[in-house]
Chains A and B, each alone.
Chain A
Amino acid sequence: GAGVSQTPSNKVTEKGKYVELRCDPISGHTALYWYRQSLGQGPEFLIYFQGTGAADDSGLPNDRFFAVRPEGSVSTLKIQRTERGDSAVYLCASSPSPGLGYGYTFGSGTRLTVV
């Protein structure tokens, strides 16, 4: 596609529920990144995929968070037993290839609110 697409744009869920956030990167971009951003702060790294595999998941805060990218394109971030502290904007970004001087293209994000 023309840009990075994230769905839904907004998600309100009750504490304890399970949510899935979807990211559709730019076609042909092999690197895909998930970040989350709280109000007034910079994006915080969660996980990075190179192709289908998670190359670095060191930013996932705990085992309630999990992400997949089974075919090397679309990725899904999954959050189990959501907590109010999970409320944030979840940003997805893609780039043609990591480490070769390409910038990231970000999606518009999913605003997650846990009530």
Chain B
Amino acid sequence: QQPVQSPQAVILREGEDAVINCSSSKALYSVHWYRQKHGEAPVFLMILLKGGEQKGHDKISASFNEKKQQSSLYLTASQLSYSGTYFCGTEHAGNMLTFGGGTRLMVKP
């Protein structure tokens, strides 16, 4: 079953923060986050494993609440390069990901 992402779209000014949420109706083994720019392939950002801690690099981090079956992606002090569509991918069992519908992020100068 496809995870639900919110919001569907967000517009930011450079330097502003954003949070993207991903929610599943099934127990999660792991959550992946990807960013896809128009006409390009999705690019892996990070993975959060069951029982693992919050991950991050630079100004992009994520958390994983196993009880609520939710993950959130945090983008702080956004840059123009952050623009794109963000997808969460959830793994339940069987080692393949089910992707959400995406969150379109636009960062304006």
Contacts and interface: CB of A to CB of B under 8 A. Distances in A.
Interface string A42-54: 1111001010000
Interface in B68-109: 87, 89, 91, 94-102
B47 A101 contact: yes
Interface residues of B, number: 26
Nearest to B33: A103
Contacts, number: 63
A44 B2 CA distance: 9
Contacts of B89: 104
A45 B49 contact: no
B47 A103 contact: yes
Interface of B: 2, 29-30, 32, 34, 40-47, 49, 87, 89, 91, 94-102
Given A42-B99, A109-B41, 6 more contacts: A4-B41, A33-B96, A43-B87, A45-B96, A56-B94, A56-B96
